[in-house]
């Protein structure tokens, strides 16, 4: 019966037990004509040493047999008997490799070292594991065997337990090292690392000891800082990765040997060409947040290194608590009908989750919430009766007039005031406008399409937006325009066009049609016509606009048409889709039993961003340079300084409809 030695020999003298000696081993595949003596000379080890590790070799060597060879210079002295722990093969199990299976996952499934799988499937020494490979998996049990005597006689001694072969090793977490980095090093997914270490905390601490696969040193990957690394999300395929990274399947497989055989797996860490935003995520791996599986700047790595003690934040929102009686029908009706109150409550619920997440991580924050009651007089009272000199940042108020009042009152104390939602505020020197302007949105969509080769541009508008449409048209050489027709009787805009109006402007090949309007009926008319003309064999039509508005979401407008036309537009925020399994969404749904709306997510993003900037910089002003770009659940922030003014966020997403979902278009 075949026997395999899998652990270091335990030397026992006749008088007692000596200390455990760890040894390094290599393997050798026997070729025709080789003998024990020739192998012994080649590796510079004694024949008894080889026999001690390969008892079956006494019966003769056969081609393709794999021997375990002790390291050079290892001698097994004849006066000492050695008890070797060996694994005895009871039987073999046939296994056909399935998609996404790896040697590691098979070793875990069958509780057997990867080396043993390779030994009985020798083609794996030269080839990667592939889907469809037929493997022979040995079922092992441990026995103890005495190896000794000048002639190297062996005596099977004591039977012991079923196989519990060591498939893992211990690993000491290094500074700034997170789960993805360790998973990449040991060629496993983040989920597999977590399975190896039940109860593993989200934040790994330097010096912490964890379990990792038992790999040879040369098999452990190095993290090359010249590249970026991306963790595969649930249900993410090569198509979505190409959209996100611009890399097709062949390039990803070339960068990641073995990917072609295993396919993509959730939690798998892929090496990709250096990307600034991904590199920033890699640097922030140690502090995961709800909605930020990896924070997108190095803010997180500094969390808790508060340079100036407690950071103070004030939040000003128009709750109008004086009009509420909790849980009464009138209050519920008030919340339902008062849009400002509803927005405030939604924004605040998102902010609370951000603050709670930071609190759990030990962030040194003092937060004060003020109810402005949506009354200017109340706001003045708050400013008069409270000292804001030590306040690092104020989030709000929502209303432009109230916001400008607060910003002006606190300007001399250089207190940063952040406008969370509105875009029409006075940009004083202490103002942070967190929402991108319409001009930034237009600039982003023009930049997105301007350099696309061999594209015909058409600008369609109603009479109200004709001037704007013509201005946009000047950015694209050779573009044409189409305007809505007027009512023959009244002369007013009739908000429709005919098929022929647009057909004459389209050309074979790629066409981008900008639609500038805020009339849902006109949107329905134009998208219906474009959808009927969208023939991929003759012409490809993409619908775009410089500023998406509510009429595009009206019931009369077909989402199927928008999706077929790959409707593309600039946005201050992207949309988190249900299949993304976002941790902020999970947290909110668990706490409130509802899916968070846009204002909830905005509350989380703005509050999280302000808090992290304060925690990692001396103040919000310096954070503009310390953290030039930050990303959270749906929003990103890149503040620029206006000459003789405050700070504005010009970070814009380009999104489109794709398979009835709104997705970010990777630039």
CATH number of the domain enclosing 562: 3.40.50
Q: What pLDDT is recorded for position 61?
A: 78
pLDDT confidence bin for 49, thresholds 50/70/90: confident
Domain end, chosen from 301, 317, 334, is at 301
How many C-beta neighbours within 10 Å does residue 204 have? 20
What CATH number has the domain bearing residue 386? 3.40.50.2300
Provide the CA 579 distance to its chain's centre, in angstroms: 13
pLDDT top residue among 554 and 204: 554
Q: What pLDDT is recorded for position 7?
A: 26
Q: Is 584 among the domain residues? A: no
216 & 238 share domain: yes
Mean pLDDT confidence for 105-128: 77
Mean pLDDT confidence for 372-388: 94
Mean pLDDT confidence for 1-5: 31
Is-contact 398 317, C-beta < 8 A?
yes
pLDDT confidence bin for 151, thresholds 50/70/90: very low
Q: What pLDDT is recorded for position 216?
A: 74
Cα–Cα distance for residue pair 87/145, rounded to 1 Å: 10
Mean pLDDT confidence for 539-554: 91
58 & 132 share domain: yes
Q: Encoding tokens for residue 111? A: 């509780």
Q: What pLDDT is recorded for position 331?
A: 52
Q: Per-residue pLDDT tens for 188-212?
A: 888 888 888 888 877 777 788 898 8
Q: What pLDDT is recorded for position 602?
A: 96
Q: Per-residue pLDDT tens for 248-304?
A: 888 888 888 878 777 888 888 888 886 644 544 444 443 334 444 333 333 444 454
Q: Is the pLDDT of residue 587 over 50?
A: yes
Q: Is the pLDDT of residue 25 over 70?
A: no
Q: Is the pLDDT of residue 5 over 50?
A: no
8 & 157 share domain: yes
Q: What pLDDT is recorded for position 207?
A: 80
Q: Is 649 among the domain residues? A: no
414 & 380 share domain: yes
Most confident of the following: 96-110, 251-265, 490-504: 490-504
Mean pLDDT confidence for 128-132: 78
Q: Is 77 among the domain residues? A: yes
14 & 151 share domain: yes
> What order of strands is seen across the sheet that includes strand 568-571?
480-483, 455-461, 509-516, 539-544, 568-571, 653-658, 661-664
Q: Is the pLDDT of residue 388 over 60?
A: yes
Which residue range(s) make up the domain with 390?
304-434+604-644
Q: Is the pLDDT of residue 226 over 80?
A: no
Helix (H, G, I), strand (E, B) or coil at 305: coil
Q: What pLDDT is recorded for position 314?
A: 97
Q: Is the pLDDT of residue 543 over 90?
A: yes
pLDDT confidence bin for 425, thresholds 50/70/90: very high
If you count them, how many residues does the chain have? Answer: 667
Mean pLDDT confidence for 231-245: 79
Q: Is the pLDDT of residue 562 over 50?
A: yes
Please tell me what DSSP assigns to residue 508.
S
pLDDT confidence bin for 661, thresholds 50/70/90: confident
Q: Is 376 among the domain residues? A: yes
Is-contact 54 67, C-beta < 8 A?
yes
In the chain, count of helices (H) and strands (E)? 22, 27
Q: Is 314 among the domain residues? A: yes
Q: Is the pLDDT of residue 64 over 80?
A: no
With b for 16 or more beta-carbon neighbours within 10 A and e for fewer, the 403-418 pattern comes to bbbbbebbeeeebbbb
pLDDT top residue among 262 and 186: 186
Helix (H, G, I), strand (E, B) or coil at 483: strand
User: What is the 3-class SS of 538-589, one letter each residue?
Assistant: CEEEEEECCCCCHHHHCCCCCHHHHHHCCCEEEECECCCCHHHCCHHHHHHH
Q: Is the pLDDT of residue 567 over 90?
A: yes
Share of the chain above pLDDT 90, in %: 38
Q: Is the pLDDT of residue 213 over 90?
A: no
Q: Is the pLDDT of residue 647 over 70?
A: yes
Q: Per-residue pLDDT tens for 302-337?
A: 454 444 478 999 999 998 765 555 444 555 565 666
Q: What pLDDT is recorded for position 405?
A: 97
Mean pLDDT confidence for 174-185: 82
What contacts 411, CB < 8 A, 6 or more positions away? 428, 429, 430
184 & 158 share domain: no
Burial class of residue 4 in the structure, from the number of CB atoms within 10 Å of its CB (0-12 exposed, 13-18 middle, 19+ buried): buried
Q: Is 521 among the domain residues? A: yes
Q: Encoding tokens for residue 603? A: 């509350």
413 & 358 share domain: yes
- Structural domains counted in the chain: 4
Q: Is 654 among the domain residues? A: no
pLDDT confidence bin for 156, thresholds 50/70/90: very low
pLDDT top residue among 188 and 473: 473
Q: What pLDDT is recorded for position 575?
A: 84
Q: Is the pLDDT of residue 162 over 50?
A: no
155 & 12 share domain: yes
Provide the CA 507 distance to its chain's centre, in angstroms: 40
Strand 431-433 versus strand 480-483 pairing type: unpaired
341 & 309 share domain: yes
Is-contact 217 295, C-beta < 8 A?
no
* From 259-273, 552-566, 621-635, the region with the lowest mean pLDDT: 259-273
Mean pLDDT confidence for 488-500: 93
Q: Encoding tokens for residue 279? A: 């590199």
Q: Per-residue pLDDT tens for 429-454?
A: 999 999 999 999 999 999 999 878 87
Q: What pLDDT is recorded for position 290?
A: 45
Domain end, chosen from 129, 162, 195, is at 162
11 & 139 share domain: yes
pLDDT confidence bin for 45, thresholds 50/70/90: confident
Q: What is the DSSP string of 85-117?
A: EEEEEEEEEEEEPPTT--HHHHHHHHT--HHHH
Supply the mean pLDDT for the chain.
Answer: 79
Cα–Cα distance for residue pair 347/549, rounded to 1 Å: 21
Domain end, chosen from 268, 301, 334, is at 301
What contacts 243, CB < 8 A, 6 or more positions away? 663, 665, 666
Q: Is the pLDDT of residue 539 over 50?
A: yes
Q: Is 662 among the domain residues? A: no
pLDDT top residue among 547 and 90: 547
Cα–Cα distance for residue pair 534/501, rounded to 1 Å: 15
Helix (H, G, I), strand (E, B) or coil at 460: strand
With b for 16 or more beta-carbon neighbours within 10 A and e for fewer, the 323-361 pattern comes to eeeeeeeeeeebeeebeebebbbbbbbbbbbbbebbeeb
Is-contact 183 193, C-beta < 8 A?
yes
Q: Encoding tokens for residue 491? A: 């002369």
426 & 467 share domain: no
76 & 153 share domain: yes
Q: Is the pLDDT of residue 144 over 60?
A: no
Q: Is the pLDDT of residue 466 over 50?
A: yes
Q: Which of 147, 109, 104, 103 shows the shortest CA–CA distance to 3?
A: 147
* CA distances, 268 to each of 20, 179, 180, 271, 581 (Å): 37, 11, 8, 10, 16
């Amino acid at each position: 019966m075949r026997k395999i030695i899998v652990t270091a020999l335990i030397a026992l003298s006749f008088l007692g037990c000596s200390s455990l000696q760890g040894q390094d081993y290599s393997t050798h595949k026997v070729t025709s004509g080789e003998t024990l003596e020739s192998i012994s000379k080649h590796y510079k080890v004694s024949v008894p040493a080889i026999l001690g590790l390969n008892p079956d070799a006494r019966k003769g060597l056969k081609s393709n047999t794999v021997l375990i060879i002790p390291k050079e210079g290892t001698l097994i002295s004849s006066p000492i008997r050695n008890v070797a722990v060996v694994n005895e093969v009871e039987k073999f199990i046939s296994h056909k490799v399935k998609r996404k299976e790896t040697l590691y996952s098979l070793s875990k499934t069958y509780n057997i070292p990867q080396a043993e799988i390779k030994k009985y499937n020798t083609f794996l020494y030269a080839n990667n594991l592939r889907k469809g490979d037929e493997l022979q998996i040995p079922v092992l049990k441990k026995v103890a065997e005495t190896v000794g005597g000048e002639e190297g006689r062996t005596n099977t001694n004591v039977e012991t337990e079923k196989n519990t072969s060591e498939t893992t090793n211990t690993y000491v977490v290094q500074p700034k090292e997170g789960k993805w980095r360790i998973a990449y090093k040991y060629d496993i997914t983040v989920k597999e690392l977590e399975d190896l270490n039940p109860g593993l905390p989200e934040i790994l601490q330097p010096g912490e000891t964890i379990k990792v696969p038992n790999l040879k040193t040369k098999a452990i990957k190095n993290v090359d800082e010249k590249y970026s690394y991306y963790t595969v999300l649930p249900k993410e395929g090569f198509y979505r990765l190409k959209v996100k990274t611009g890399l097709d399947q062949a390039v990803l497989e070339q960068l990641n040997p073995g990917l072609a055989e295993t396919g993509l797996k959730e939690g798998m860490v892929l090496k990709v060409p250096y990307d600034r935003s991904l590199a920033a995520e890699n640097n922030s791996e140690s502090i995961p947040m709800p909605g930020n599986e990896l924070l997108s700047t190095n803010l997180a790595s500094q969390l808790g290194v508060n340079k100036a003690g407690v950071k103070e934040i004030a939040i000003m929102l128009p709750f109008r608590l004086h009009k509420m009686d909790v849980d009464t029908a009138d209050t519920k009706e008030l919340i339902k009908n008062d849009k400002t109150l509803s927005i405030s409550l939604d924004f605040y619920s998102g902010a609370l989750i951000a603050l709670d997440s930071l609190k759990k991580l030990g962030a040194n924050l003092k937060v004060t919430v003020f109810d402005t009651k949506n009354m200017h007089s109340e706001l003045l009272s708050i400013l008069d009766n409270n000292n804001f000199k030590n306040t690092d940042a104020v989030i709000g108020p929502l209303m432009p007039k109230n916001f400008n009042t607060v910003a002006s009152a606190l300007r001399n104390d250089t207190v940063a005031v952040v406008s969370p939602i509105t875009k029409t505020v006075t940009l004083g020197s202490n103002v942070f406008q967190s929402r991108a302007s319409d001009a930034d949105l237009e600039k982003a969509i023009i930049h997105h399409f301007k350099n696309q080769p061999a594209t015909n541009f058409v600008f369609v508008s109603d009479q109200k937006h004709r001037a704007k449409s013509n201005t946009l048209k000047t950015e694209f050489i050779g573009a044409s325009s189409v305007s809505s027709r007027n009512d023959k009787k009244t002369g007013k805009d009739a908000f429709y066009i005919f098929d022929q109006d647009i057909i004459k402007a389209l050309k074979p090949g790629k066409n981008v049609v900008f639609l500038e309007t805020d009339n849902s009926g006109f949107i329905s008319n134009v998208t219906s016509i474009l959808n009927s003309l969208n023939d991929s064999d003759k012409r490809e039509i993409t619908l775009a606009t410089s500023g998406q508005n509510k009429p595009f979401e009206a019931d009369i407008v077909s989402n199927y048409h928008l999706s077929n036309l790959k409707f593309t537009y600039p946005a201050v925020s992207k949309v988190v889709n249900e299949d993304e399994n976002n941790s902020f969404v999970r947290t909110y749904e668990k706490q409130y039993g509802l899916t968070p709306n846009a204002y909830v997510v905005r509350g989380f993003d703005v509050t999280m961003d302000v808090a992290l900037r304060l925690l990692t910089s001396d103040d919000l002003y310096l954070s503009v340079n310390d953290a030039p770009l930050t990303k959270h659940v749906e929003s990103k922030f890149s503040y620029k300084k206006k000459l003789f003014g405050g700070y504005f966020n010009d970070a814009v997403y380009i999104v489109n409809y794709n398979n009835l979902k709104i997705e970010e278009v990777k630039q």
